[in-house]
Structure formats: C-alpha cells, structure tokens
Amino acid sequence: MKVSRPAVHPVEAPPMTEAAVHHPRVRMKDIQGMPGTKGGLFLRLSQFIFSIISVSVMATTNDFRSATAFCYLVLAVGLQSLWSLSLAFVDIYALLVKRSLRNYVALRLFTIGDGITSTLTFAAASASAGITVLIGNDLDKCSMNHCTQFETATAMAFISWFTMSPSFLLNFWSLASQ
C-alpha cells in the first residue's frame, strides 16, 4: 500500500530590518494597584491601616494570650503592617521620582512578600475566627472574655487580607507578563 509521507521543507526567516532591530519593547501599561502607582499606594496604606487597627484592638485586651490563634493573629498582622508600610514608602518614592517599579528582581520580591504575608494573615484571621466562634457560640463565655474586641480584630485582619489580595494578584500578573 502506498502512503504519502509528509515532507518538511525548512523555510528561512526573512532578514531583520533596521526598524525591527532597534524598536523598543512594548510594555504593559501601569494598571492602578500595581507597585509605583497611586492605586498601589492606596492599597498599601489601607492594608497598613486595617492591620494596625487589628493589632491595636487585639493588644488592648488583657487575655488575648489565652489562645494561640490570637497570638498568631497579632504576629501575622504585625508583620503585614511592617511589610505594607515599607512598600508604601517605596510607592511614595516611585511616585515622587516618577519611576516605574518594573524591575524583575524588585517585582519578584514584592510578589513573594505579598504572597507570604497574605497567606499568614488569612491563616491567622481564619484561626482567630474559629476561636471566636468557639468562645462566643459554642462555650457561651462572652461575658468572661472580650468577644467583641476579638471579633473586631479578626474582621480587621480579614479586611486587611482582602486589600492585600489585589496587590498580590497584580504583582503576580505583572511578574508573569515580563
């Protein structure tokens, strides 16, 4: 039986023209929320504000050390507040000197840092929410504890995580598009 076989004939690429060789690369536009934009600065400042509120409310109770989840919340949200404040300063600097923060190494650092701190904050807020539900609903011991303050601190940690998520996703997207 005769079967036809495909034949591959290599084709040479056309020579590069002068315009194609020296043409600048087209970069993705700066979307608000990315590092070095006003939206990014707003997200960083809101992360910082909500995390500071969470730490402050939790630290004002005298019995937050009674549960490990609450100690973990204070630690994780405290770390997030430091991270967000430091990146807010970087955003302010980038806005003042009108520089884009598209450096691959810096963007990778921002993405990894945002991923770690957002994961820690979400885990701590979830654990604290579980303990708050246990104390308030299951054990009915809100009269002896500061349930309202625990709930407020946990809610602020979730809001802080919610404002951290767009920063992480935009950094990751920008990193992947390079």
Report pLDDT digits (tens) over 71-130: 999 999 999 999 999 999 999 999 999 887 878 898 899 999 999 999 999 999 999 999
What is the distance between the alpha carbons of residues 47 and 119, in angstroms, rounded to a whole number?
14
In tens, the pLDDT along 149-178 reads 999 999 999 999 999 999 999 889 888 887
Contact 128, 157 (CB under 8 A): yes
The per-residue pLDDT for 21 is 60
What is the distance between the alpha carbons of residues 90 and 84, in angstroms, rounded to a whole number?
10
pLDDT over 70 (residue 147): yes
What is the distance between the alpha carbons of residues 132 and 146, in angstroms, rounded to a whole number?
10
| Average pLDDT of the chain to the nearest whole number | 87
pTM: 0.79
Contact 30, 36 (CB under 8 A): yes
